[in-house]
Structure formats: C-alpha cells, structure tokens
Amino acid sequence: MAGNSFGNIFRVTTWGESHGKAVGCVIDGCPAGLEINEGIIQKELDRRRPGGRLASKRKEEDKVEILSGVFEGKSLGTPISMLIWNKDVDSKPYEEIKDLFRPGHADFTYWVKFGIRDWRGGGRASARETAARVAAGAIAKHLLAKFGVKVGGFAREIGGVVCNTDGMSFEEIVENAEKSDVRCPDEDAARLMEEKILEARREGDSVGGVVEVIVKNPPAGLGEPVFMKLDAYLAYAVMGIPAVKGVEIGAGFRAARMKGSENNDPIIIKDGQIRFESNNAGGILGGISNGEDIIVRAAVKPTPSISKPQRTVNYRKMAEEEIIVRGRHDPCIVPRAVPVVEAMVAIVIADAMMMQGLIPRFL
C-alpha cells in the first residue's frame, strides 16, 4: 500500500496538491555523511520549472527548503524533508469547469476513487507533484555520482520527429540536450520538434513524444529476482509518471520483431572484463544489470489540456457538455518530463545499489 511512497531502502514519500499550500517530499534511507545543499536540488528543479517559449505560463520560483536530515552540510541518515511553497496559484480558470471532467485527465477517476474532488488545477494528479520527485531525484543523482554512476536524458521523439544520436557520447547527448529548448541533442530534429510544438499551440492542440534516459556506468548485479527485477522496477517507476503510457528497455518493442540471433548480445572480453558487444538488452538480462549502459524509454502522451472544444460530462447535472480547458498549459510536456524520468530512474538505481550492498549506510 502507501501509494505515495517509492523505494525500498532509499525511500521517497511525496505530498502536496497543485494549488495547495506547498508540495514536498521526505527521503528515508539516504546514507549518512553525504554533502547536501539546496543548490544541488535547486539546479534540478530549475530544469523542470515551467518557463521558456514553449512552456506553460505558470511562474513558480520553485525554491526548495530543506527542513531536516542535514546538519553542517551533511546528511544525518535521518529523513530528509524538503518543501516547495506553491506561490503563483490561480484557481480561477478551474472554478468555471469544476463540475466538468477534463478529457484525458484524472478528474473523473479521482472523483470515483475518493468520492471527493479537488478541482483546483488537477489537485494531487497535477504534474506539479513531480517537482517533489525531482527534488528527491536530485539527491539520488548526487549520491550516484559519488559512485561514478551518471543519469542523463533527452527527448528521443516529439510530435513524430525522431532524433538521431548515433555517434554521440553520453556526455555529448546530455550537454546538447540541455542547450535545446526541447531537450533534443540532434539540432535538426530539435528544430522540427519546435515547429511541431508551436504548430500544435497555434491549433489549440498538443503533441506527445518519447523520453530516453541513459544510466552511464552502472554496476552489474542490480535488481531483485523474480518480481522486483531491475527492468520491472524501472517500468514501475517510469509508468507512474503522469502522462506516460509505455515503457521499454533497450531494443524494447523493436526486440519483439527481431530474431534471437540478432537480438542476443554477444558476450566478449574487453580490457580483461566480461562485457557485451551490443546492447539490445539495454543493460539488463534476466532482470539484473549486466554492467552495460541502462537504456529506458518512456512514451509520453500529448498534453490532455487543450483549448479546442471537447465533449465531456457535467457530473452535477449528469449531462453531456462541451469543455474548453483554459488554464496555463504546455502544448508538449516532453522537454519538462526529461528531468522527471531521470529523477525516477536515479531513485531506482540508488535504491537497487543499496539493496545490493554497493552503497553503505554511511559514507
């Protein structure tokens, strides 16, 4: 149970509604002795923050405050509580449609599940909740970096435009992606993606895409057979991000169309180490990491909030009505989803390393 907590040893609990007082998280199980300051976290929050030509107009400062678990710049091994106040909240546009269920949103399902409705900006189902995940993920990434493991992501596809990263190193991919408004390291594709997004905005519509995240330099041996396999754990983490409708590892759905002789990665010796010549497995075999890069891709659906008129139901009147969703929405959330997927992947890898005994209880 406990749907708002994630992780086994490195365990994150998030809380907060979009238009409530604040959002936040508590990390239980972070090793003691890790240098932590708010800057590390702020950097990642700023990557997720609304803003830019292509994004929503909600202007949140998203300033994180650490309330516990850190003393004299180091983690204590006790829970790290972090808080981000909600400041630029405008519930007005939501009030008008508070009896209507927005198509593609969780309005209807939350109402069925909880018998009550927080109509203010999507409430707990809002993507604003992911700010808390990013804050927790920042600490996971920071912890992983101490052990030489890096997590980076980019927009692999937006609005049907697929990017090409052949020949790019992990570092190039990550750096180039950060320079781009759409978080795509391939400049040509990035330009086309922007066009797709701006076109969708003009039409009052939206587009989706695919986020890819790479774990560079992971240790072999991560993942718990048979149910908490590393790929299963990653799928759980990533499919639980708002708007994600598909997850794949390595060759993924493409593997389903390959022959065994094509898909199997030959095992070789390289620099005196057992390695794999190709990486269709995406770094995971039998649910356990094999030491190669871990590759995860997430299918992100188009933003459900669109200004085109849509058919829906007014639940108080129990009548069909037309809805036009105003509010402040991104025509494409893929670029902002990148740090969120990274955060969830980082938490999984940090937790799996702790489970495997590769990160001690104190540093």
Considering only residues 257 to 316 of the shown chain, the ones binding a copy of itself according to CB under 8 A are: 257-269, 272, 274, 277, 281-282, 284-291, 299-306, 308, 310-313, 315
User: Rounded CA gap, 206 and 76, in Å?
Assistant: 44
User: Rounded CA gap, 236 and 298, in Å?
Assistant: 11
349: amino acid identity, one letter: I
The single residue among 250, 327, 335, 339 that binds a copy of itself, judged by CB under 8 A, is 250
Q: Which is nearer to a copy of itself, 44 or 129 (CB)?
A: 129
Backbone region of residue 149 per phi and psi (left: phi > 0; alpha: psi in -120 to 50; beta: other values): beta
The single residue among 145, 253, 324, 326 that binds a copy of itself, judged by CB under 8 A, is 253
Among the residue ranges 2-10, 47-55, 146-154, 175-183, the one whose residues contact a copy of itself (CB under 8 A): 2-10
Q: Which is nearer to a copy of itself, 84 or 151 (CB)?
A: 84
The single residue among 246, 279, 293, 328 that binds a copy of itself, judged by CB under 8 A, is 246
133-170: buried (b, 16+ CB within 10 Å) or exposed (e) per residue?
A: bbbbbbbbbbbbeeeebbbbbbbbbbbebebebeebeb
Number of residues that bind a copy of itself (CB under 8 A): 150
Give the shortest CB-173-to-a copy of itself separation in angstroms: 19
Q: Which residues contact 120 (CB under 8 A, 6 or more apart)?
A: 17, 18, 19, 20, 89, 91, 94
Q: Which residues contact 68 (CB under 8 A, 6 or more apart)?
A: 78, 79, 80, 81
Q: Which is nearer to a copy of itself, 167 or 272 (CB)?
A: 272
The number of angstroms, rounded, from the C-alpha of 34 to the middle of its chain's C-alpha atoms is 24
User: Rounded CA gap, 196 and 208, in Å?
Assistant: 10
Q: Which is nearer to a copy of itself, 167 or 270 (CB)?
A: 270
212 binds a copy of itself (CB under 8 A): no
Tokens found for residue 33: 């002795």
The single residue among 47, 48, 58, 124 that binds a copy of itself, judged by CB under 8 A, is 124
51 binds a copy of itself (CB under 8 A): no
Considering only residues 306 to 345 of the shown chain, the ones binding a copy of itself according to CB under 8 A are: 306, 308, 310-313, 315, 318-320
- DSSP β-bridge partners for residue 289: 284
216 binds a copy of itself (CB under 8 A): no
Q: Write the interaction track for a copy of itself spanning residues 6-45; mark x where CB under 8 A is met and - where it is not.
A: x-xx-x-xxxxx--xxxxx-x-xx--xx------------
Residue 24 three-state SS: strand
Considering only residues 141 to 200 of the shown chain, the ones binding a copy of itself according to CB under 8 A are: 157, 159-160, 200
Considering only residues 97 to 116 of the shown chain, the ones binding a copy of itself according to CB under 8 A are: 101, 103-106, 108-110, 112-116
Q: Helices marked H in 4-84 — which ranges?
A: 38-48
